[in-house]
Every structure is written in C-alpha cells, then in structure tokens.
Amino acid sequence: MSDIASRVKAIIVEKLGVDESEVTPEASFTNDLGADSLDTVELIMEFEKEFNVAIPDDQAETIGTVGQAITYLEKNVK
Amino acid sequence: MELKRVVVTGLGALTPIGNTVPEYWDNLINGVSGAAPITRYDTTLFKTKFACEVKNFNPEDFMDKKEARKLDPFVHFALAATDEGVKDAGLDFEKLDTNRIGVIWGSGIGGLKTFFDEVVNFAKGDGTPRFNPFFIPKMILDIAPGHISIKYGLRGPNFSTVSACASSTNALIDSFNYLRLGMADVIVSGGSEAIINEAGMGGFNAMHALSTRNDDPTTASRPFDKDRDGFVAGEGAGCIILEELEHAKARGAKIYAEIVGGGMSADANHITAPHPEGLGAKLVMTNALRDAGLTTSDIDYINVHGTSTPLGDISESKAIIALFAENAYKLNISSTKSMTGHLLGAAGAVEAIAAILAVKNDIIPPTINHFTDDPDVDPKLNLTFNKAQKRVVRAALSNTFGFGGHNASVIFKKYQE
C-alpha cells in the first residue's frame, strides 16, 4: 500500500469512526461508511490539510469512494 | 379551559459537585465546594485561575467517539444529564406517543468553545475561510434539544430558551405552560452550559464579574458574606422531566413534586447590574406566587440566585424582604452556588433540582463559606449558613436572573392527590 493510501485510510478511520477493515477501495463514504454530506465535506478538507493540496469543489464531487480519493491524491499530490 | 396539573417525574444532573443526582444532592447537603484550579487550559495570563469544572467526565460514556467529536461540550453535558433523567423517569419511548413528547432546553451561550476554536484556527491562516462543516451545527445553542430529540425520537415541541443565567428557568416555565395547556404529555427540560475556556473566562474577567480569590478557590463563592468578590464560574447540566399529571399516573411514574407556578419579569435598568432595590426580582417572585395561587406564607424555601457578587446579593435580599415582609424571616434561604459555582444558563435547572429535592426530602442545602456578616444584609434572614437544615418544605421557589435584566422564578410544591 502506498504512503498516500495509508494516510487516507487513517483519516477515514479517525473521522468516520469506522474499523480499518471496512475501509476498502470500493467502499463508498456515504453508502458503506456511514458518512453524511457534512462528513464528506470534512473528509475532503482533511485530505487538503494532510496533503497540502486544494481540491476544487467540482473535483471534490467526483470523490465518493476510498479508491477515488487515493487515486485523486496520488495524481495531484506533488 | 381548565389547566392541567404538571409534575416532576425524573431528574438528571452533571455538576461540579456530582455527575449524578444522588451524588449532587449528597454533596449539596454536606456543603462540598466544587471549585479548584482550572485544568482545561493554561491560566498563567488570566486574572481568575479557578472555576467549578465538571470532573471525571468522559463524553464517550454516553455516545460513540465519532459523535462526541462533532458535539460541543455543552451538548455532551446535555446528553449525559438527559440520559440519567430519562432513565430515572422510567420513560419507555417505544410505548409512548413520541409526537407528544417535547424537549425545551436552555443555555446562556451555547457552543462558545467551538466558536472560539474555529475563529482561532481561521486567524492562524492566510485569510482563506477553511471552516469545518460542523462548525455551525456544533455551535448553535438550539442544537442541544435537537440532539436530544434525535437520540430518543421525540417529535413534540422542540426549541431552546435564551435569557443568560435565567435560560433554563425559562425552559422549565415554557415546558410547564405547554403541558398545562395540553399541547404535550411529557417535556424533557433543563439546560446546559460549558464556558470554562479562554473566551468565556477572559470575557467574564474583563467585566470584573468573577472572583479572583486564586489563593483559596473553595471559599471563593461566598454569597451574602461581607468579603464576597464576584461569582465563580461553573459548568454542567440539569435535566428535569416534566409530565402532565394524568399521563404520569397512568404509567405509574414516581412523582418528586408538582410544578405550580412560573414568573417572569425584566429589570429594564442596566445590561448587567441588577436594579439596586431589586424591583425586577420582587416582581418576578410576585408573578410566580400569583401564577401558583400561593401567598408568601406558603413558601418555606427560596433557592436564591445569590451569585456572590457585591451588588446582586444585596438587591435580591432587599427584594425578598420587600415582598415577603414578616414572612421573610420564617423562610429558609440558600444559595447553592456557594458549592456549585454559577452554571449560568444551566443554573436554573440544577438549582430547580435542589429546590425539588428540598421539597421531597425536607432538607435545605446550605449557603457555605460564610465567615463575616455583611451589614447590608438583614441579619434576621435565615440564609442557612454553612450547614444544611431540616424542616418541612411545603413549597420552594427558585430564582434566576440573567444579564440583560431577565428574571425568571419557578415554584415547586409537595405533590398531593
């Protein structure tokens, strides 16, 4: 697992209070991990802070699963 | 339209001198102070370095970690006290019509810590507004009754009352009114406050409202003592389950006392100072007695606002004498803030619990820390100094006065068929 992937998972475990085993690449924040719309906004903000990137709103809307978050960050984090 | 009778069927308390009602009452009648050096933040640069904090409290005993993180401490306190109150009342929401069960909850300020933390975070940045999405729903004062309703599925009347230190008394009066009008069967009422943080203490310090007796915190809250020098900040929550009498009887609920009157008034004088002659205080007690259909000779105990400030204690004692006349000297009077500190928006709730238990148990909790008589306080008043007193308490009145000149009083009476 990449460094980015493990940091993303750690944030999700912390913020959503879920078990690490549930945080699979296919897991959807809202459908599988119990996040509501505010949780999702908070997650994106945490990713921005952790990786020092700005994720524009139109991009943020495309990030709905653990895998999508990891892929986006691997592509955009320098 | 005939008004219905309303009774108290459950109590919950999270206070600086006890995290449950039995522990709170035990420490009240034993004269225990909840004051100690502040543990929540570094007080080095602050004028006041002590307060009455809630101790040994872990919000995760009442909710999961994820939930706890999204709630301000004033809501943690609210959910903890409500947990005890609901269990104590034996309310089984599966079997009751939850459309007729409401929550009316007071707080003076609401999520001050949340507001402070978010603004500090913003100020440290480059001006980009990176506010947490939970900032507003975590801070707003009415989120406390919101969370209580969500936790238990209560769909009746639901809102907050705000009148500074009278807030939760206003919540009790509103609850009483809706219940006696038949607009609900049960209302989970009370209040919570959590202002022991840099902004809260710094703000009250700037007003010169707080005691600065840093060398002796446990004797700092000394209402009616000549050397009182301001109030001692407290925090916590009180929950009072109010229920329409027939509804309570039908489910075989235990009854602590009957709520028989509520009074409200305004000083219309100054934003923070009490009226020097206590006109608003006299009027609010007059209104409460009239609402209850009682006279001054029917009251055996007044749990006073008595914050231990130089002006407030004098004007309240003058108001009692002006209204009660000779009966003022037959009463027991006490300020339980001498032990709990001032819980601000939660004061009305935790002090109503003290009044309710005084009525139920026939014991008056004391005004502790009395050392020197104040020549401006009539020595014939029985202020229940230093030690609890036993007496039959037919009815008790609880006073609360808030910045802004808001006054609210409630009266509890022994329940009789």
In this prediction, residue B1 carries a pLDDT of 79
Give contacts of B126 with chain A, Cβ < 8 Å.
none
Distance (Å) of CA B56 to CA A73, B19, B129, B338: 41, 8, 36, 21
In chain B, residues under CATH classification 3.40.47.10 are 8-250, 262-413
Residue B408 neighbours by CB distance under 10 Å: 31
Alpha-carbon gap, residue B417 to B410, rounded angstroms = 21
In this prediction, residue B226 carries a pLDDT of 98
Beta strands at B101-106 and B158-161: parallel, antiparallel or unpaired: parallel
Give the number of beta-carbon pairs within 8 Å between A and B. Answer: 18
In this prediction, residue A2 carries a pLDDT of 80
User: Is residue B373 within 8 Å of B379, Cβ to Cβ?
Assistant: yes
Helices (H), ranges, B15-131: 21-29, 65-69, 73-89, 112-124
Residue range B8-250 forms a domain whose CATH class is alpha beta
Chain A nearest-CA residue for B67:
A17
Give contacts of A56 with chain B, Cβ < 8 Å.
none
In this prediction, residue B279 carries a pLDDT of 94
Bridge-partner residues for B210, per DSSP? B231
B13-49 tens-digit pLDDT: 999 999 999 999 999 999 999 999 999 999 999 999 9
CB contact under 8 A, B133 and A45: yes
B307-330 tens-digit pLDDT: 999 999 999 999 999 999 999 999
In this prediction, residue B327 carries a pLDDT of 98
Alpha-carbon gap, residue B221 to B213, rounded angstroms = 9
**Proportion of chain B in helix, strand, coil states, percent, rounded to 5:** 35, 20, 40
Judge whether B133 is closer than 8 Å to chain A, CB to CB.
Answer: yes
Q: What is the band of A1 on the pLDDT scale with cuts at 50, 70, 90?
A: low
In the predicted structure, residue A36 carries a pLDDT above the cut 80: yes
CB contact under 8 A, B137 and A38: yes
Give contacts of B130 with chain A, Cβ < 8 Å.
45, 48
Nearest-by-Cβ selection for A17 from B66, B134, B137: B66
Give residues 14 to 43 of A whose Cβ lies within 8 Å of B.
15-17, 38, 41-42
What's the gap in Å between the CA of A7 and the closest CA on chain B? 18
Q: What angle do CA A38, A39, A41 make, to 5 degrees?
A: 65
Q: What is the mean pLDDT of each run of 10 residues along chain B (417 residues)?
A: 95 98 98 98 98 98 92 98 98 98 98 98 93 96 98 98 98 98 98 98 96 98 98 98 98 98 96 90 98 98 97 96 98 98 98 98 98 97 98 98 97 97
User: Is residue B190 within 8 Å of B400, Cβ to Cβ?
Assistant: no
Query: What ipTM does this complex have?
Result: 0.84
What φ, ψ does residue B28 adopt, rounded to 5°?
A: -60, -50
CATH among 3.30.420.40, 3.40.47.10, 3.40.190.10, 3.90.550.10 for B262-413: 3.40.47.10
